[in-house]
Amino acid sequence: MSATNSAARRYARAAFELARETGQLEAVHGDLASLGDLLESSPELLAFITNPVVPTDRMIAGLDALIKPHVCELTYRFLLFLESRDRLDLIAEICAAFDDAYLQEQGIVRVQITAAIPLTDPQIAGIVDAMRLRLGKEPQATVNTDPDLIGGFRVRAGDTIYDYSIATQLDSLKKRIISA
């Protein structure tokens, strides 16, 4: 998930810089990645944390009971800071933006490989190797299938799509024939 809210990106960047400066980048990244996963898998917890009508004392008690035992002190203080600013509603986006900043810092880029048929491990490794050379970064790949591609595959890296699908080639051929 990529964060699109500029406020979420600013809060994530501030937390990222503080975590890096204090030598806790790995711990905070792990905490926020786990929290992001937990919020994604638990709509009830997300609804509680992002509910603006939950009183402050009840929210802090909930954070104390549910989150504090499982995160480092800096992560917990960051969550309390967000609560004090009425910005816990951005927590899922902040977690995603923090992860994006962390991956960028590590020289890692997320790539989404979509193929017409399930790919074998050697095929995936070949695509990942090619993307590593093209992007100059270490790809972190997720793989999907889409039979509408007819054959071949597409790779999305950030905002760029590399399309090697039969469907796109046929569409391109069709456009050239029509315009000729």
Distance of alpha carbon 180 from alpha carbon 136, whole angstroms: 39
Q: Answer yes or no: are the C-beta atoms of 163 and 146 closer than 8 Å.
A: no
Q: Name every residue whose Cβ is closer than 8 Å to that of residue 43 and which is 6 or more positions away in sequence.
A: none
- Residue 82, pLDDT > 80, answer yes
Both tokens of residue 165? Answer: 């699908």
| Closest C-alpha to 64, from 76, 74, 54, 55 | 76
The whole-model pTM stands at: 0.79
Distance of alpha carbon 100 from alpha carbon 97, whole angstroms: 5
pLDDT given for residue 4 in this prediction? 61
- What is the percentage of the chain residues whose pLDDT exceeds 90? 96
When pLDDT is averaged across residues 24-36 and rounded to a whole number, the result is 98
When pLDDT is averaged across residues 147-163 and rounded to a whole number, the result is 95
For residues 142-168, one letter each, b for 16 or more C-beta atoms within 10 angstroms of the residue's C-beta and e for the rest, the string is: ebeeeeebeebbbbebeeeebbebebe
When pLDDT is averaged across residues 2-16 and rounded to a whole number, the result is 86
Distance of alpha carbon 135 from alpha carbon 137, whole angstroms: 5
Q: Answer yes or no: are the C-beta atoms of 76 and 65 closer than 8 Å.
A: no
pLDDT digits 0-9 by tens, 88-121: 999 999 999 999 999 999 999 999 999 999 999 9
Domains belonging to the chain, first-starting first, are: 6-104 (1.10.520.20), 108-179 (no CATH)
Report the relative pairing of strands 160-165 and 152-157 from DSSP bridges: antiparallel
User: pLDDT band at residue 3, thresholds of 50, 70 and 90?
Assistant: very low
- What is the percentage of the chain residues whose pLDDT exceeds 70? 98
- Residue 70, pLDDT > 50, answer yes
According to DSSP H, which parts of the chain are helical? 6-21, 25-41, 43-49, 56-66, 73-84, 91-105, 121-135, 166-179
Residue with tokens 């799509």: 161
Exposed, middle or buried by CB within 10 Å (0-12, 13-18, 19+), for 11? buried
pLDDT given for residue 105 in this prediction? 95
Q: Name every residue whose Cβ is closer than 8 Å to that of residue 15 and which is 6 or more positions away in sequence.
A: 28, 32, 78, 94, 98
